[in-house]
Amino acid sequence: MHLERLISLLEIIAVVGRPVSVSEVKAASGLPKPTCYRLVQNLLDQGLIHEPNKDGRYIIGERLIRIALLGKSDVDVRRVAAPLLKLGASNFNETVFLARFRDSKIEIIHVETPEDPARAFIHPGIGERPLHACSCSKAIAAFAEEHFLDVILKGPFQAFTENTKTTRQELLE
């Protein structure tokens, strides 16, 4: 029953498509006001919803989005992302790629290169990358929660060049 109510609230918040107040959630769900407040607080505590403007209105949280995307196949993710990556490669005249974190590994799953034939570019290839030594894992880590950093910063770390950072302290700097 509790899980059903939480899922119902998540669906209400997701469908609205804008920040929604507890009063709106209450009206849409038919649940008592104290129950709505408690359930919203549960969802907020778990990072499944987020209060972007600190004004008592909520949207779907990054944690729920990450959970949902982890279940999607690479084909689904690439289908959605490819037009945006192509636009980025065209607008910036640079190689643009999409990486995802899965099974404690970073994997590049799609690459778009610039269309300009005179432009030199690097194609990083498709596949797994070391967590401590690739730009995409560093970009992911920059916005990660603390527990995710512990996964990335679990050694040992292989040196690929003389400049590869190989200690936890170096990686945190």
Q: What CATH number corresponds to the domain at position 99? A: 3.30.450.40
Number of domains the chain is built from: 2
3-state class (DSSP) for residue 132: coil
d(CA 90, CA 133): 27
Per residue in 109-122, pLDDT tens?
888 888 887 777 67
d(CA 44, CA 38): 10
Query: In terms of domains, do 108 and 157 share one?
Result: yes
3-state class (DSSP) for residue 71: coil
Q: Which of 25-29, 95-99, 132-136, 160-164 has the highest mean predicted lDDT (pLDDT)?
A: 25-29
3-state class (DSSP) for residue 134: coil
Give me the pLDDT at residue 125, please: 72
Query: In terms of domains, do 73 and 104 share one?
Result: yes
Query: In terms of domains, do 9 and 30 share one?
Result: yes
Asked if 25 contacts 37 with a C-beta cutoff of 8 angstroms, the reply is no
Per residue in 17-42, pLDDT tens?
789 999 999 999 999 999 999 999 99
Give me the pLDDT at residue 143, please: 76
Burial (CB < 10 A; 0-12, 13-18, 19+), residue 138, is middle
Question: Taking the model in full, what pTM does it have?
Answer: 0.53
Neighbours of 83 (CB within 10 A): 10
Pairing label, strands 20-21, 96-102 = unpaired
Give the residue from 170, 107, 158, 167 showing the smallest Cα distance to 136.
107
What is the residue range of 13's domain? 2-61
Of 31, 61, 91, at which residue does a domain stop? 61
